[in-house]
Structure 1
Amino acid sequence: LEEVVQGMGLDLTYEQMKGKVSVTTPTDTRILAITVKDSDPVMAMKMANAIREAASVHIMNVMDIQAVNVAETANMPMKKASPSVLKNTFIGGVLGVFLIIAVVLVRYLMDDTIKTPEDVEKYLQLSTLAVIPLNEGEADGKKKKKKVKRS
């Protein structure tokens, strides 16, 4: 990886390059599958091909063989590997629902206002002398504005 970074003149450290590259070997084969993830698909393809070339030379030296067969060169990705818009939207929606539930629950639990005559008797140990009834146009102590029809 260091050879590829220096050869391509990339402004990356070994750890950053290592985070972009994954190498796998399919079961019961001697094939290496090199995958590179980068924001620029052309750069990802170039890095994968450069790693393939550097690995081929290294394998020939270590294994003392004449040539390494290349099954295929890196291809240009046609679709984004990440981020997944559908998955992120779903996760955001679920987190939003939990956040709303938490806010409503905290507001309900922290609400210590007196709303009914029973609350006065329960919290203040006082009996109520009178209750002022709401007018027909009022709800929960808040006056609603009536719409005026103009003709």
Structure 2
Amino acid sequence: MEQSINLREYLDILKRRRIIVILVMIICLGLGGYKTYVNYESYVPTYRSSMTVRINTSKNIGKKKKKDEENQQDLYSTYNVAMNQNIASSYKSLASSSNVANIVASSLKISSAEVGSISVSQREDMAEFIDISVVNKNKELSKKVAEEIPEAFNQELIRLVGFDCVEVVYEASNPSLIGRGRDLTILKAAGVGVVLSIFLVLLAECLDTKIVTPDDINKYWNYQLIGTIPLDRSNSKGKRRTKK
């Protein structure tokens, strides 16, 4: 018959091997606490500045005076809208490319590493609109970089597709401090400690072949227990028997 172990037996095993559990938890929590301290000491505030641009292939036409209604309708024709959305979808990644970062760095007279992180996203409801965010450790520099990106992005589009089509919709916002996320290192370390301690306890239990309780006789050899002999502490090792 297959042997089964109930929850009480597991708890008894953990209680019997509690030294392993305590040591593993102390080590894991200690390492987690040290990692949390290192993260706290190495934290550097970062700032984000965001802006929105629009891909508009009729930008230059729109600036001219229109003499008739046909030109006005041409600006928002189905063909132009489809072209704008296609360019935005195909080339939005250029705004965060190394070429754009190099152009911005050259314009601001800084190194490319100082530009920071540039991220772009295309709006689902209005595909020709592109949101651009700049994350930088320098508060003032994050906004300056954001202000220079549309022109650099436009230069790359002119070079690749021949269109002067980047139009600023929303100017670069004032830099905002990026909130510090919750550090869950301690909780992760505690979870690792629990899993590791249970694993080590079960491993030690599997490798331990000693007979500890009367039930182990039935468990390992399927022998029925006939009786037990109580321990006579007066005759235990290390004690002298009293002479009459």
Where on the TM-score scale, by shorter chain, does this alignment land: which range? 0.5 to 0.7
Residue 122 of structure 2 is aligned to residue 25 of structure 1 = yes
Quote the RMSD (CA, aligned, Å): 4.1
Q: Report % sequence identity.
A: 20
Structure having the higher strand fraction is 2
Q: 1:134 to 1:101 in 2, by over 3 A?
A: farther
Unaligned regions of 5+ residues in structure 1, if any? 136-151
More relative contact order in 1 or in 2 (CA 8 Å, sep 6+)?
Answer: 2
SS of the aligned residue for 1:94 comes to helix
Which residues in structure 2 correspond to 1:2-151 (within 5 Å)?
2-5=99-102, 7=106, 8-11=110-113, 20-29=117-126, 30-37=128-135, 40=137, 42=139, 44-59=142-157, 62=161, 64-65=163-164, 68-80=167-179, 84-85=181-182, 87-117=184-214, 119=216, 122=220, 130=229, 132=231
Larger Rg: 2
Number of residues of Structure 1 aligned to a counterpart in Structure 2: 124
- 8 Å contact 2:154–2:164 — kept in the other structure? no
TM-score, length-scaled by structure 2:
0.37
Unaligned regions of 5+ residues in structure 2, if any? 1-97, 235-244
Cα shift at 1:73: 0.8
TM-score, length-scaled by structure 1:
0.53
Q: Which runs of 4+ in 1 moved over 6 A?
A: none
Structure having the higher helix fraction is 2
Q: 1:34 to 1:130 in 2, by over 3 A?
A: same
